[in-house]
Amino acid sequence: MLKNAIGREIPERIEGLGELTPYQGPFAIRPKNRRRGPQLRQVEPGEKKLLPNLEKALIETGAHDGMTISFHHHFREGDYLLDKVIDAAARIGLKNLVIAPSSLTNVHSSLIEHIKNGVIKRIETSGLRGSLGEFISKGMMDTPVIIRSHGGRARAIEAGETKIDIAFLSVSSCDNYGNASGCVGRNVCGALGYAMVDAKYAEKVVLVTDTLVDYPNVPASIDQTDVDHIVVIDAIGDSGGIMSGPLRHTSSPRDLLIAEYTAKVVEYSGYFKDGFSIQSGSGGASLAVARFLRDKMLEKNITASFMMGGISAQHTVMLKEGFVRKLYDTQTFDLEAVKSLAENPNHVEISAAYYANPHSKGAVVNCLDVGILSALEIDTDFNVNVITGSDGIIRGASGGHSDIAAGAKLKIVIAPLVRKRMPIVVDRVNTVTTPGETIDVLVTDWGIAVNQKQPELMAVLGKTGLPLYDIKELQEKAESITGRPDLIKYTDRIVGIVEYRDGSIIDVIRQVM
């Protein structure tokens, strides 16, 4: 075991995953390799790409035991494709598959059966929820899952660390030569930002749609030059599912109080000026921050240059009203936003690599002024956990959290001080997904703590009348209500490794007792 730069014990090697590099700092690892692309291929005039079903697509693309299949999670809780492909793989007798979806949600619990019956051997993902997260946390897989951020996944794919043999990508509409969109079709999902990376780098790309349209289906998010085959099925997903999950609009006074404090921190931080940029997360308070800022923007007569993050109707209204000049969209969070992406030229779809890949010539996160982030837990060193619950079970997603925290100029974590009788500020988070050195401020309903590494910001906010505390004082306040929770009991067995965006290991997740 080695201790990484934030003091977490990391094994030097894990059976089935190989050598591990411990985390050394947010920009310590410099890339040395070249991008790894797919084998060149010639599709000749007259060749047909349409295949009758998923089994045929697996066979035609050379599916074999132990290969890696990737998926995207743009349909979130409404995804149908992943289950259908794995069922098809099981029917033709494939075993030991590695699946590398951009994330997994509550609808993917059927994977448990396929892990038990040997079809799936290993998982790489951003998140895990529901019974699948519980199953894995209880040590039911032989090889640990790899948890990556969205930028980290794009990096791993481009670097060839995640070598995708076949990408099965559901698209809302497609023509018979592989031009695909998420904005048009029977079941729309909006941006295809995660899928765009898979389409460029997977050895074989199979698009799956329920809406085959006339050639050419342009503008296309994924284009014909990257696509091997197309399969038409009855339904790829449920558009309604893109709104579920953690996203919600809030009227909760607690969320609104946090949002109000956060908007004030942004306002006084020095970054709130004409042309500023901001990303906000998917929680209720996070979405409400934008509403408070809107009023301040009106008052000060300023506009934002761009906003990003999961894009929702609220962002698109601000775009239409002229509060923001461009929206960057990797993942679309509701149907109103899908409509805007289709119609408004200033609402721009971007790939996960463009959004956050650290080993590129400049991801959008590097251009961001303010990032608003959530937390399941934060420790007194400002390390954040967004992956394991207070019971140690995997029930979250790394998402763009560490990417935003590394890139943006002002990184604010927002959370209620107490959630479901558990304190949010702790001595040591169960799992670190984002290192504390990349977090500047914690805003809670009880008050605000500034990272000591930001003395200037602390001095500026100190003059504003906002309720500022040392993070340890906030911890004491939380514990005065909840008491100090018992530590979770883990076995030594590692069930997941958490990669930092640069590919080093920031933490491991152990099996809960």
What is the C-alpha to C-alpha distance for residues 390 and 344, in angstroms, rounded to an integer? 42
Three-point CA angle 95, 97, 100, nearest 5°: 165
- Quick one: 384 or 417, whose CB is closer to other proteins? 417
DSSP state of 366: G
Q: How far is the CB of 425 from other proteins (least distance, A)?
A: 14
DSSP state of 367: G
Q: Are 402 and 439 in contact (CB under 8 A)?
A: no
The length of the chain in residues reads 513
3-state secondary structure at position 285: helix
Q: Residues 57, 62, 65, 67: is their CA dihedral positive or negative?
A: negative
Q: How far is the CB of 416 from other proteins (least distance, A)?
A: 9
Q: How far is the CB of 62 from other proteins (least distance, A)?
A: 56
- Quick one: 46 or 253, whose CB is closer to other proteins? 253
What is the C-alpha to C-alpha distance for residues 490 and 342, in angstroms, rounded to an integer? 48
Quickly count: other Cβ atoms within 10 Å of residue 164's Cβ: 26
Q: How far is the CB of 481 from other proteins (least distance, A)?
A: 5
What is the C-alpha to C-alpha distance for residues 78 and 93, in angstroms, rounded to an integer? 27
3-state secondary structure at position 299: helix
- Quick one: 402 or 444, whose CB is closer to other proteins? 444
Q: How far is the CB of 175 from other proteins (least distance, A)?
A: 49
- Quick one: 186 or 254, whose CB is closer to other proteins? 254
Q: How far is the CB of 465 from other proteins (least distance, A)?
A: 7
Q: How far is the CB of 37 from other proteins (least distance, A)?
A: 53
- Quick one: 83 or 260, whose CB is closer to other proteins? 260
Burial of 395 (0-12, 13-18, 19+ CB in 10 A): buried
- Quick one: 256 or 287, whose CB is closer to other proteins? 256
Strand partners, 384: 378, 434
- Quick one: 52 or 465, whose CB is closer to other proteins? 465
Q: How far is the CB of 254 from other proteins (least distance, A)?
A: 8
C-alpha dihedral (453, 456, 460, 461), degrees to nearest 10: 0
- Quick one: 200 or 264, whose CB is closer to other proteins? 264
What is the C-alpha to C-alpha distance for residues 355 and 192, in angstroms, rounded to an integer? 12
Q: How far is the CB of 273 from other proteins (least distance, A)?
A: 26
Residues within the interface to other proteins (CB under 8 A) = 253-254, 256-257, 417-418, 445-446, 465, 480-481
- Quick one: 54 or 259, whose CB is closer to other proteins? 259
Instruction: Give the DSSP per-residue string, 88-134.
Output: HHHHTT--SEEEEES---GGGTTHHHHHHTTSEEEEEESEE-HHHHH
- Quick one: 87 or 479, whose CB is closer to other proteins? 479
Q: How far is the CB of 250 from other proteins (least distance, A)?
A: 12
Question: Which residues does 364 contact at the CB level (< 8 Å), separation at least 6?
Answer: 308, 328, 350, 354, 355, 356, 407
